[in-house]
Copies of this chain bind each other. A is one copy, B any other.
Amino acid sequence: MEGLILIAPLAGIISLAFAAFFANSVLRENTGNKRMQEIASAIQEGAIAYLNRQYRTIAVVSIILAFLILILFDNGLKIAAVFLAGAISSAAAGYIGMNVSVRANIRTAHAASTGLGKALSVAFRGGAVTGLTVVGLALLGTSGFYILYGDVNLVIGFGFGASLISLFARVGGGIFTKAADVGADLVGKIEAGIPEDDPRNPAVIADNVGDNVGDCAGMGADLFETYVVTSLAAMLLGTLVIDTYKSAVLYPLMLGSAAIFASIISIFLVKLRKEGNIMRVLYKGVAGSAIICLIAFYFITYALMEIRFYYAALTGVIIMVLMAIITEYYTSTKYRPVKNIASSSESGTATNIISGLSIGFESTLLPTIVIIVGTLVSYFVVGGAADPGIGLYGIAIAAVAMLSTTGMIVALDSYGPITDNAGGIVQMAKLPAEVRKITDELDAVGNTTKAVTKGYAIGSAALGALALFADYRSKVNLKEQTLNLDDPVVLAGLLLGALLPFIFSSVTMSAVGKAAFEIVNEVRRQFREIPGIMKGTAKPEYGRCVDIVTKAALREMAVPGFLAIIMPLLVGFILGPKALAGLLIGLIIVGFMIALVMNNSGGAWDNAKKLIEDGEHGGKGSEAHKAAIIGDTVGDPFKDTAGPALNALIKVVNMVAILFSSLIMSKSLF
């Protein structure tokens, strides 16, 4: 049995090797003409410059935290080391992924001139690099440090490091991407009347950089974290039942290893025959990976555990599929929600906004039911009624199983900014209209995959966080005490936890507003002071816009980042571990729902606009279209800043609580 555990780091290394292989195959592609290369390198430089500065800022925070850990904890050196390793691994995954992404965009643009199939292949393989890097590093780090330290409790720091990076990547990246996007749109499309991706818009490069920074690096860090902390949560809960089930800690790692092989095989499945349906091909990849996992999980469970744990894993996979279907229902142009918003745009902007919010609110229903039924099933199916410890472990296994397609999901998500960028490059380099048509086709799919992967990320964050909560619960040893709902201290914690997502969203949304305002002023200044821009005779100063939004994003991510780390500590040390337990649950529940509202209404507004642009309700230029553009702009910070940042918030607060639980137990005032 002992030897089996080596499979996990090995699977991680194999994943990284395939990432390198795909990266190499992408880089071998042709980079097109000089104009394209110029644009692509501007995007590249901006993205790398941003990431470098973001990481430099986070490095300072990380070193301070590592130092605190070093002096505050027993085994401080080990925990500080693993914490830094987690942070560095997450940063590396983001860095590698984005480096490939900003190189795959131009190659996809060039491949688009040779046909759809080739372009899809380049873009998707580019995305796959990020996907395999994320899961590879996550599994390698988690299992490697577990083998090294021999105690899961000492590896928690790895998860905290990952959480920290994820939080800043989501918040900073989210502010960057939407400030640039909104800023570019407000002056470009609305004031100056020039189309999207027009090279005369000084903010156009910043906008393209933002796509990579937000969707590629941000989502990568987010799912890296979810993967790590969910695996750790399951392993920790496994240690509590290890007397009955000897493989309880090993089991989640073996599920993760199988998932990696499934992802690698499925990536090869994504190939477009002539005139095929792109979405179907991509879904085929995900479905393939899920089916392979389900088969492998059966045998793994059979060998290591009892078969009832397979049902918990199966539940996790079903949750994943349902979350994807529900998100697609709420954000696709094909169904009632988006159609309703589009038709309500006819009576004006106010009704567009009201109906979008109303759809967002409604969209909390089904995912919540799925999570409720999923947790109840995975709890009771493994025997939670007789032994709550086993039941909680069952929930954690469902969460781990839900993550089995992470590699593919990250690949799909990173595919989004690559095709988006490719379209931008084609437009700016003035390539023929047929080429733009191909990148548009790729990009339209990218919008759907982006929304669907967000639904997945929210669902897995919620389930993972519930498993983390169970760990916190056992760590602070509240088993003997009750966490009663009518205890005013627990209630105070619940209220504070429920409050966090509102405050956090308020801060991030207004940060986007402020940063976008700075971009608007800069673009207006350039139009005023460089008169040749609009005629196309002078080149705008793209770098200035990238620089402004970089600074703004880094400045604005400080408060929410600080809030996420300090709040659980304050509540824990002042109101005590019971209140902190309440805070965690309040945060998970409300954070989950607000994230759903933001993700789904944002996605629905976006596609309602697309539906109108495709000719419904008066088409482009109609009053309904104007209303829909405003709805889309409101939805941007919802779905790309505040919503995704909540995923990170939920997990980082839980990690802080777990990591500091022993200190809180001994030092809290109550």
Contact = CB atoms under 8 A, between A and B. Distances in A.
Interface of A: 182, 186, 190, 344, 347-351, 353-355, 357-359, 361-362, 364-365, 368, 371-372, 375-376, 379-380, 384, 388, 391-392, 395, 466, 469-470, 473, 482-492, 494-496, 498-499, 502-503, 505-507, 509-510, 512-513, 516-517, 520, 581-582, 585-586, 589-590, 593, 597, 630, 633-634, 637
Contact of A499 (B358, B473, B499, B593): B593
Contacts of A486: 388, 392, 469-470, 473, 483
Nearest to A504: B361
B510 A348 contact: no
A498 B593 contact: yes
Nearest to A185: B350
A633 B502 contact: no
Nearest to A362: B506
A520 B510 CA distance: 34
Contacts of A633: 348, 350
Contacts of A470: 486
A601 to B, nearest CB: 10
A630 B347 CA distance: 12
A458 B103 CA distance: 54
Contact of A365 (B368, B499, B520, B634): B499
Contacts of A630: 348-350, 353
Nearest to A517: B347
Contacts of A507: 362
Given A351-B517, A494-B585, 19 more contacts: A182-B350, A348-B633, A351-B513, A353-B630, A354-B634, A358-B513, A362-B507, A365-B499, A368-B495, A368-B498, A372-B492, A372-B495, A376-B488, A391-B488, A466-B491, A473-B485, A473-B486, A485-B490, A590-B590
Copies in the complex: 2
10 A-B pairs with the lowest CB-CB distances in the bound complex, closest first: A361-B506, A350-B633, A362-B506, A483-B485, A358-B509, A361-B502, A364-B502, A482-B482, A358-B510, A379-B488
B513 A354 contact: yes
8 contacts: A186-B347, A355-B513, A358-B509, A376-B489, A379-B488, A469-B486, A482-B483, A483-B486
A485 B476 CA distance: 14
Contacts of A375: 488, 491-492
A579 B186 CA distance: 48
Contacts of A466: 491
A165 B347 CA distance: 33
A506 B604 CA distance: 15
A510 B593 contact: no
B490 A358 contact: no
Contacts of A512: 354
B354 A585 contact: no
A516 B344 CA distance: 11
B368 A499 contact: yes
B354 A494 contact: no
Contacts of A376: 488-489, 492
A509 B357 contact: yes
Contact of A506 (B359, B371, B482): B359
Contacts of A359: 506
A489 B377 CA distance: 11
A354 B509 contact: yes
Contact of A484 (B384, B483, B516): B483
Given A348-B190, A358-B513, A361-B502, A368 B483 contact: no
A485 to B, nearest CB: 4
A372 to B, nearest CB: 5
A241 to B, nearest CB: 15
A499 B506 CA distance: 21
B350 A485 contact: no
Nearest to A490: B485
